[in-house]
Chains A and B, each alone.
Chain A
Amino acid sequence: MTHAEFIYPSYALTIAGMVGVLAWSWLAMRRAEAAAAKAKRR
């Protein structure tokens, strides 16, 4: 593959950014909804 030194970093950055924001948002949602469920039961 020509220009691999530009292509792989582009893909790595995009995938890392997407997976990172996805995991962050998912965990924040799980945590917040668990806290809300607990508050409701009280």
Chain B
Amino acid sequence: MHRFANPARFLRIARVCTPLLTLSGLVLAAVGLWIGLFASPPDYQQGDSVRIMYVHVPAAWLASGGYLGLAISSGVALVWRHPLAGIAARAIAPVGALFTAICLVTGSLWGKPTWGTYWVWDARLTSMLVLLFLYIGYLALASAEDERHGGDVTLERGAAILAIVGVVNLPIIKFSVEWWNTLHQGPSITLTKSTIDPAMLLPLLTSLAGFSLLFGGIVLMRMRAALARQMVEARGRRLAEAYA
């Protein structure tokens, strides 16, 4: 029975949190992007193309943060067979994949006016492309497994293992700009300091917070949808058994 108790408690919390995260996220993201586009200074080197940072950095952060969430959920799903973990992993994956793609395209649109090229095969850009392939591989494996197991996420193996193995790519993305010479610049924000002017840090952190809240809201929505679908299916099976 504990299997159903936890999703029920989760649903009670999720019903409160979904609108809170979504609405606050929408407001913060809108404010951050507005400041970024119209009310922040251009950069002394890049001119206005610095404004692409206010969409590129949140996308990059959600791409890698989302993958960490996917890997942790997959680990919990493998070890504890908790149904919510498999559902969380499936809810995160397509959203993380979308932001990885957005990160790659906006980075490319920044690279052309700044570096003079849309794409190079340096360690940072390549490892970020590998992240997109990991997401796509996870989505393909997970959907194949769901089909085989009739949607029972507690039976999955391969997709979760892929997600966990892929986690080695995260430190490679993070440290690629320090381990190797890359075209991509080093980190601007570390735990102790920032080399970004406060007038640019404000829209960056605002849109970062807004997009993160929205990401949370979207993941909760997708988890609620999956739980509702599961409940309908379980009820249908029980009805069919009762009539058989």
Contacts and interface: CB of A to CB of B under 8 A. Distances in A.
Chains A and B touch (C-beta atoms under 8 A apart) = yes
Given A11-B33, A13-B106, A29-B224, A22 B47 contact: no
Chain B, interface residues (CB within 8 Å), range: 35 or more
Interface of B is mostly: helix
A3 to B, nearest CB: 4
Contacts of B222: 25, 28-29
Contacts of B59: 14
Interface string B33-72: 1000100001000011101100110010000000000000
Contacts, number: 96
A29 B228 contact: yes
Interface residues of A, number: 28
Contacts of B99: 17
A7 B48 contact: yes
Interface of A: 1-4, 6-7, 9-11, 13-15, 17-18, 21-22, 25-26, 28-29, 31-33, 35-36, 39-40, 42
The 5 lowest CB-CB distance pairs between A and B, nearest first, are A32-B228, A36-B228, A14-B55, A3-B49, A32-B225
